[in-house]
Amino acid sequence: MEWSVLQQYGPSLLKGFGNTILCWALGTVFGMALGLVIALIQRYAPRWVTWIVQAYIEVIRGTPFLVQLFVLYYGGPLVGLRLDALPAGLLGLTIYGSPYFAEIFRSGFRAVPDGQIEAARAIGMSESDIVRRILLPLGLVSALPALVNFSIILTKETVILSIITVPELLYQVQRMSAETFRYVEANLVLALFFWGLVETISRVGLRLEARITKHLIERT
């Protein structure tokens, strides 16, 4: 591999990496928020609403992310939803992640002992207080490992955004290799780079997780 190429393409690669991180971070945060809302709806809304939400979960989980992006980015304009590649990608990531996050939150909430909630109700806490002070703090802790795990999976999904021309890392690498004909090296380096990234994030995630849960074990 000609390393001088990297110098020439350095800025665009760096920008691509920035976009990858941006898409990942915002997609994770928004996806988690939407997932939390869905999980709460599943728990408290009337029957027929939960059916609609369940259908949403099944559809998003049963179709490929790439097809969802195509519907959004190429199909969206037909119904008046005109988005640039980057916002479309972010919206796509948010929608794609939300049902997985919702299921994680749901099982986290299920791990909260019924007795805790009954006790809160017995001492006269309002339903919103129960959610805020009992359900969320306890549920989030038991959901944490799965949340970290899925956030790591989302880093890998960001490369798919390159297909709808979001200028993230793979997109920049593809452009570079098309101009320099260095497909093998460029993609191999990208693979190694992602390996390092994912390994690092999962190490950090595990440590973070251990710290948060340790703190709680000590307190209880």
Partner 1 sequence: MFSLAVFFQSFGPLFWAARYTLLISVLGIGLGVVIGTLICAARLSPYPPLRRFAAIWVSFLRGVPLLVQLLVFYYALPVIGLDVPAMVAAVVTVGICASAYISEIWRGAIAALPKGQAEAAVAIGMTPVDVWTRVILPQAVTLSLPALINELILLVKASSLVSVVGILEITRASQAQAATTFRPLEVYIAAACIYLLINLCLAALGRYLEHRTAV
**Does 64 contact partner 1 by CB under 8 A?**
yes
**Does 170 contact partner 1 by CB under 8 A?**
yes
Binding mask 75-94 for partner 1 (x = CB under 8 A): xx-xx---------------
**Does 191 contact partner 1 by CB under 8 A?**
yes
**Does 123 contact partner 1 by CB under 8 A?**
no
Query: Measured from the CB of residue 198, what is the shortest distance to partner 1 in angstroms?
Result: 4
CB 69 within 8 A of CB 88: yes
| Window 143 to 162, contacts with partner 1 (CB under 8 A) | 156-160, 162
Q: How far apart are CA 171 and CA 177, in angstroms?
A: 10
**Does 187 contact partner 1 by CB under 8 A?**
yes
In the set 66, 85, 125, 206, which binds partner 1 (CB under 8 A)? 66
Burial of 67 (0-12, 13-18, 19+ CB in 10 A): exposed
**Does 56 contact partner 1 by CB under 8 A?**
no
Query: Measured from the CB of residue 138, what is the shortest distance to partner 1 in angstroms?
Result: 27
Question: Count of CB atoms within 10 A of residue 23's CB?
Answer: 24
Helix (H) or strand (E) holding 23: helix 3-44
Nearest to 190 by CA among 177, 206, 201: 177
Binding mask 7-46 for partner 1 (x = CB under 8 A): ----------------------------------------
Q: How far apart are CA 184 and CA 177, in angstroms?
A: 8
105 HSE (CA, 13 A, CB side): 23
* Of 63 and 116, CB closest to partner 1: 63
**Does 172 contact partner 1 by CB under 8 A?**
no
Query: Measured from the CB of residue 207, what is the shortest distance to partner 1 in angstroms?
Result: 17
Count helices and strands in the chain by DSSP H and E runs: 9, 0
**Does 213 contact partner 1 by CB under 8 A?**
no
Q: How far apart are CA 153 and CA 112, in angstroms?
A: 26
* Of 78 and 123, CB closest to partner 1: 78
Local structure of 91: helix, strand or coil: helix
**Does 51 contact partner 1 by CB under 8 A?**
no
Whole-angstrom Cα Rg for the chain: 21
